[in-house]
Amino acid sequence: MKTTVLITTYNYGRYLPQAVESALFRNTANVEVIVVDDGSTDNTKEVLRPYKGRVRYLYQENQGQAQALNNGFDASFGDYIFLLDADDIFYPEKIAEVLGQGRRFLTINLLNWLFLIPGGLKIRRFNKTKWI
């Protein structure tokens, strides 16, 4: 099972390294990290260069966080998607614990996405005509 950590950012280059490091060093294998840059004018792109090959960087003209999230969802390959703010970090056991507790979550199917709540937002994508 593949997991995606999706980070959206706008002029948060000074915080990104900590967020990215916390997403990369999980107690879970098979994690993809995607950073969607919503038109930053700071050093966001430069601070992500050392992560090339380990982090997928997507740039968009400034369209707001909602569009950045949509673009990140569209680009992801994860069975589960975790959202991480650019100025935040995950504890090392976050993903493993949430995935391990999956059956205890409230399930809401909304707009072809399955949200599992609480304990961190976890989303599973569904095909419009059938469950994947």
The model's pTM is 0.78
**SS3 track for the chain:** CCEEEEEEECCCCCCHHHHHHHHHCCCCCCEEEEEEEECCCCCHHHHHHHHECCEEEEEECCCCHHHHHHHHHHHCCCCEEEEEECCCCCCCCHHHHHHHCHHHCEEEEECCEEEEECCCCEEEECCCCCCC
Tell me what pLDDT residue 1 has: 76
Tell me what pLDDT residue 43 has: 97
109, two tokens: 């199917």
Tell me what pLDDT residue 59 has: 98
In order along the chain (132 residues), what is the average pLDDT of each group of 10 residues?
92 97 82 96 97 96 94 89 93 82 52 46 44 33
